[in-house]
Copies of this chain bind each other. A is one copy, B any other.
Amino acid sequence: MSALVTDYDRLAVMQICLEQQLTQPAVFELVVRELPPRRKFLVAAGLEQALQFLKSLSFSEAENAWLRHQGRFSAQLLDYAHGLRFDGDVDAMPEGTVFFAGEPIIRVTAPLPVAQLVESRLLNLVHFETAIASSAARIVLAARGRRLLDLGLRRAHGSEAALLAARAAYLAGFDGSATAEASRRFGIPALSPLFLRSDAIGVGTLSSLVEAPSTAPGRIVDTDDVLTHRAGLVDAATALRCKGIVLDGVQIDGPDPSARAWSLRARLDAAGLGDLAIRVSGDFDETHIGALAAEGAPIDEFGVCGWLPEDGDATRINASYEKRVTASDAAAGRGRALLQPCMRAGKRVGRTPTLLESRRYHAEQMAQLSETLREAVGESR
């Protein structure tokens, strides 16, 4: 990974460190000083990506050429950048750890020029995955055992965002992701087999295969019109079955999911399609899902389309990367001893847990959480 995924002023500070011979080891800790409003706990995630970033930290030839071309960096900096590797120590919470304000998530001990250079990307990775995992953990509590599927690819902020969100959500107890590459790369179950969707391409593409009474070939059914086309969905599912195409379920989105799920369930059952599951998709947070689960709506699976919804309370976690005066200062008086050795002199140490192991560890952490902290979910507004 490119060492240039950093703020430009980190390069300027790196040069000053070299000029002033400030190359001694420094200790930094990544910490959340204060929990977001209405949050009682957070879930550590992104540490594996952070370690991979540090392990492969370097400037490529093209990047070194770009640094030279800038014209504002010293020969000393260019020389230092040329051979730069991360050769420091890292201690970190295991992924999936439930943590609280003020508990360091990662501690980096490395020469000051490097330790400060990596701030931006470490925060970038750990902030994002931790925000997702923390939201997902609350959704899992709220869903009361319903299946939960990450459907976030289309509106994620690029593909890396989609893949890391799928990973963090699975770590925190989601059942799967619809993003195929997330399944391949991280072994996350691909829980998105053939659902007849109520949006344009779902019905549009599939209905072009059949000639159901109310679904003309190639007809586009608007998401917004789905309520008036509900008969079309059931007819299309029936027609597809006649054609030998086995659906796993029907997916609906839009307003009033409870009433629509009840109505759809009745119509599917009446049409002999009782084996088709109902998935409801949307920009759900734990409040919506908690309400739907509590009232017992016939929803088999929730598809979460938008991560960190705009009205969410943890789009921003106030994470920072703080310099400690000494290692003993960093270690002293910080309550629970959660950090474990992950890197020594730039090499990974200890066993790297699989994502599934981290997911199980997180589930154990959640099981130990006091009722007070668990109950806050869904009753926070």
- State whether B154 touches A157 (Cβ < 8 A): no
Instruction: Kindly state the separation between the CA atoms of A66 and B28 in the bound complex, as whole angstroms.
Output: 40
Q: Is A17 an interface residue (CB 8 A)?
A: yes
Q: Which of A161-169, A265-273, A345-353, A360-368 contacts B (4 or more CB under 8 A)?
A: A161-169
Q: Is A338 an interface residue (CB 8 A)?
A: no
Chain B residues lying within 8 Å of A151, measured Cβ to Cβ, are 7
Q: Which of A135-143, A287-295, A315-323 contacts B (4 or more CB under 8 A)?
A: A315-323
Instruction: Kindly state the separation between the CA atoms of A191 and B70 in the bound complex, as whole angstroms.
Output: 12
Closest to A321 in B: B201
Chain B residues lying within 8 Å of A316, measured Cβ to Cβ, are 155, 283, 306, 310
Contacting residues of chain A (1-37) with chain B, CB-CB under 8 angstroms: 1-2, 4-13, 16-17, 20, 22, 28
9 other contacts beyond A157-B158, A310-B310, with CB at 8 A cut-off? A5-B180, A7-B178, A10-B180, A28-B201, A121-B153, A157-B157, A160-B160, A306-B316, A310-B315
Instruction: Kindly state the separation between the CA atoms of A98 and B127 in the bound complex, as whole angstroms.
Output: 33
Chain A 270-303 interface mask (CB, 8 Å, partner B; 1/0): 0000000000000100000000000000000000
Q: Which of A89-97, A202-210, A256-264 contacts B (4 or more CB under 8 A)?
A: A202-210
- State whether B158 touches A124 (Cβ < 8 A): yes
Instruction: Kindly state the separation between the CA atoms of A245 and B191 in the bound complex, as whole angstroms.
Output: 56
- State whether B320 touches A193 (Cβ < 8 A): no
CB within 8 Å for A179 and B8 given contacts A125-B158, A156-B124: yes
Chain B residues lying within 8 Å of A17, measured Cβ to Cβ, are 205
Q: Is A218 an interface residue (CB 8 A)?
A: yes
Q: Which of A112-120, A231-239, A373-381 contacts B (4 or more CB under 8 A)?
A: A112-120
A contact residues, range: 35 or more
6 example contacts (A-B, Cβ-Cβ < 8 A) are as follows A6-B179, A9-B197, A128-B155, A128-B158, A159-B160, A204-B323
Chain B residues lying within 8 Å of A202, measured Cβ to Cβ, are 9
With most chain B CB atoms within 10 A of its CB, the pick from A125, A161, A190, A201 is A201
Chain B residues lying within 8 Å of A16, measured Cβ to Cβ, are 194, 206, 209, 245
Q: Is A213 an interface residue (CB 8 A)?
A: no
Instruction: Kindly state the separation between the CA atoms of A162 and B70 in the bound complex, as whole angstroms.
Output: 21
Chain B residues lying within 8 Å of A306, measured Cβ to Cβ, are 316
CB within 8 Å for A8 and B323 given contacts A158-B164, A159-B121, A316-B155: no
Name the contact of A208 in the complex, choosing from B22, B195, B199 (C-beta under 8 A): B22
Q: Return the 4 tightest CB-CB contacts between A and B, nearest first.
A: A157-B161, A158-B160, A4-B181, A157-B157
Name the contact of A5 in the complex, choosing from B1, B6, B7, B179 (C-beta under 8 A): B179
With most chain B CB atoms within 10 A of its CB, the pick from A22, A308, A310, A311 is A310
Chain B residues lying within 8 Å of A5, measured Cβ to Cβ, are 153, 159, 162, 179-181
Name the contact of A13 in the complex, choosing from B12, B119, B153, B205 (C-beta under 8 A): B205
